[in-house]
Amino acid sequence: MRMHARTLMHAYNQTPFDKRQREILLQKLLGKIGINVDIQTPFFCDYGVHIEVGDNFFANFNCVFLDCNFIRFGNNVFLGPNVQVYAAYHPVVAAERIKGPELASPITIGDNVWIGGGSIICAGVAIGENTTIGAGSVVVKNIPANVLAVGNPCSVIRKLD
């Protein structure tokens, strides 16, 4: 699966902006895509098939999705450049980590979410609808709907109307 994804990613990243050709490649690479999906290159993922994106999805340059588990994006989700979404994680105890296990937990990002550039979304996190994540944030726990959240670790600053 990983080699298949690498082949499709390479083709996608090398395709000049031909909207139809890029859409065909994304349909082959990703588990589900909505309409009006725009992922700027370069774009990187592990398997692709565990990534689901809704309608009107935009990911700016250099986004990385480690999809060892499902990563689900709702409709009208926008990602700034260099956003990294990590479903994968490893044991924190060195003796366990060096045995080589790779663990993963799903990530869910609701409708109408904006994630600012350089943010990192960690394994097992859910971000509620209509939420904005500030640039450079590290999201390590669930963020509710309708809020502005920023920082490292990312925390809610205020509710949004």
90 annotated active-site: yes
For 26-54, b/e burial (b = at least 16 CB within 10 A) is beebbeebbeebebebebebbbbbbbbbb
- CA-nearest of 130, 135, 132, 137 to 148 is 132
- CA-nearest of 120, 103, 32, 137 to 74 is 32
Catalytic residue (one of 4, 10, 50, 90): 90
| Residues catalogued as catalytic | 90
